[in-house]
């Protein structure tokens, strides 16, 4: 059993290389105040992080952002990761990539590329990301396949595209995808800000899930399909990050170390930085990484629950946003005293067939505006 005093190694390292991105997706998980975090680690600083985490036992490495392709040193970081023995995954929109760069990634030793789409149609895709990128994404997906990578596609589902799941999976078939993730929006960052305009109805979720399951059955052995039901429509929370400070370590563009990518929102955390502290100290000694590690921090009903080793009390950020206290039981759980309040909130949003508030698109201009409003 993992405890604050005895933590295993950070097996999964997520390197958020930059918050810069050519797209403006309104469901982005980057922090709303990302414009306030302009400083990025240098190539040398990132290499030190990769080496230190690998010494501790990290094996899986994800390059994300923002858009990691913005970093001109990405090939250097991939090559270093390969030399260290990581299994590397690039999480990208494909914007900023071309045939030559895909080849360069292959030569540098990149193991895996996941290409994200916003929708199955060009019009909706381009509207949601604020960029005429759909045709380029199609070409980049084909180039990934041509270079011998498995075709891995990601679609984030929400009210505006969830009714198109069949069309999304038909597009995936046409692209000869090996793996498709239908990841329903999780409400953090920009998605939380746009929640009322993004959350689908329960009927939409149920219908999309049925379609996904039928495709899973029909395409078994040809294309693997993962459909992620949104937390707010479940009776049990997902095991967020497999437990706080248990497996996952996120390093933000400025070097801030996070037990999860949204942990900045939790008040009282000092959030260590790899510029001042070693990765080893951060993981094993930082009060922030110990704060919700293990089970001693839990309140009832989590503390005495026989399922706590399955879901670890759910998501700390979600508990904070929905109850005002990050140490409370995640209200997604029907054992939570706040579960009924969550159901009422979902029902209220669900009833809004048309919202009067327009989508707020993720960009630095809006980030500065939102930052001024909250400071």
- Is there a contact between 249 and 205 (Cβ–Cβ < 8 Å)? no
| pTM of this structure | 0.94
Q: Left if phi > 0, otherwise alpha if psi is -120 to 50, otherwise beta: which for 367?
A: alpha
6 pLDDT band (50/70/90 cuts)?
low
Known binding positions for [4Fe-4S] cluster: 21, 25, 28
Q: Over 90: is that where the pLDDT of 198 sits?
A: yes
Residue-range domain boundaries for the chain: 10-374
Q: Over 70: is that where the pLDDT of 203 sits?
A: yes
- Is there a contact between 28 and 191 (Cβ–Cβ < 8 Å)? yes
Rounded to 5 degrees, φ, ψ at 126 are -70, -35
Please give the full DSSP string across 57-117, using - where no structure is assigned: T--EEEEESS-GGG-TTHHHHHHHHHHHT-EEEEEE-STT--HHHHHHHHHHT--EEEEEE
- 30 or 372: which leads in pLDDT: 30
Q: Over 80: is that where the pLDDT of 134 sits?
A: yes
Question: 10-374, superfamily in CATH?
Answer: Aldolase class I (3.20.20.70)
Known binding positions: 21, 25, 28
Q: Over 80: is that where the pLDDT of 341 sits?
A: yes
Q: How far is CA 23 from each of CA 59, 133, 190, 329, 331, rounded to the nearest angstrom?
A: 30, 9, 13, 35, 32
* Other CB atoms within 10 A of residue 9 CB: 17
- Is there a contact between 251 and 15 (Cβ–Cβ < 8 Å)? yes
- 332 or 369: which leads in pLDDT: 332
Q: DSSP H helical segments within the chain, as ranges? A: 43-56, 74-84, 99-108, 122-129, 134-146, 165-174, 189-193, 195-198, 202-218, 279-285, 287-290, 308-311, 316-323, 339-350, 364-374
pLDDT, position 4: 47
3-state secondary structure of 354: coil
The per-residue pLDDT for range 40-61, each reduced to its tens digit, is 999 999 999 999 999 999 999 9
């Amino acid at each position: 059993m993992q405890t604050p005093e005895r933590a295993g190694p950070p097996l999964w390292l997520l390197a958020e290389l930059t918050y810069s991105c050519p797209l403006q997706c309104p469901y982005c998980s980057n922090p709303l105040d990302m414009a306030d975090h302009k400083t990025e680690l240098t190539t040398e600083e990132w290499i030190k992080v990769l080496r230190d985490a690998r010494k501790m036992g990290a094996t899986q490495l994800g390059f994300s952002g923002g858009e990691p392709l913005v970093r001109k040193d990405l090939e250097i970081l991939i090559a270093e990761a390969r030399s260290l023995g990581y299994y590397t995954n690039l999480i990208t929109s494909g914007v900023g990539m071309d045939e030559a760069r895909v080849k360069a990634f292959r030569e540098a030793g990149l193991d895996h590329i996941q290409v994200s789409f916003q929708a199955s149609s060009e019009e909706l895709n381009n509207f949601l990301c604020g960029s005429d990128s759909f045709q380029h994404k199609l070409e980049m997906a084909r180039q990934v396949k041509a270079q011998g990578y498995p075709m891995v596609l990601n679609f984030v589902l929400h009210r505006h595209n969830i009714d198109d799941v069949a069309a999304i999976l038909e597009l995936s078939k046409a692209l000869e995808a090996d793996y498709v993730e239908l990841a329903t929006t999780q409400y953090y960052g920009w998605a939380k800000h746009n929640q009322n305009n993004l959350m689908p109805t329960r009927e939409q979720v149920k219908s999309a899930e049925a379609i996904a399951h039928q495709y899973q059955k029909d395409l078994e052995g040809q294309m693997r399909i993962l459909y992620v039901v949104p937390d707010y429509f479940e009776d049990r929370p997902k095991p967020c990050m497999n437990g706080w400070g248990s497996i996952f370590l996120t390093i933000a563009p400025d070097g801030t170390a996070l037990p999860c990518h949204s942990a900045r929102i939790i008040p009282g955390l000092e959030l260590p930085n790899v510029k001042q502290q070693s990765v080893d100290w951060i993981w094993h000694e930082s009060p922030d990484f110990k704060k919700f590690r293990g089970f001693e921090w839990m309140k009832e009903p989590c503390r005495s629950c026989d399922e706590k080793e399955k879901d670890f009390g759910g998501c700390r950020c979600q508990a904070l946003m929905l109850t005002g206290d990050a140490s409370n039981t995640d209200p997604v759980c029907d054992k939570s005293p706040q579960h009924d309040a969550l159901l009422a909130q979902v029902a209220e949003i669900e009833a809004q067939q048309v919202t009067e508030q327009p989508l707020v698109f993720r960009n630095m201009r809006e980030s500065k505006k939102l930052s001024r409003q909250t400071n």
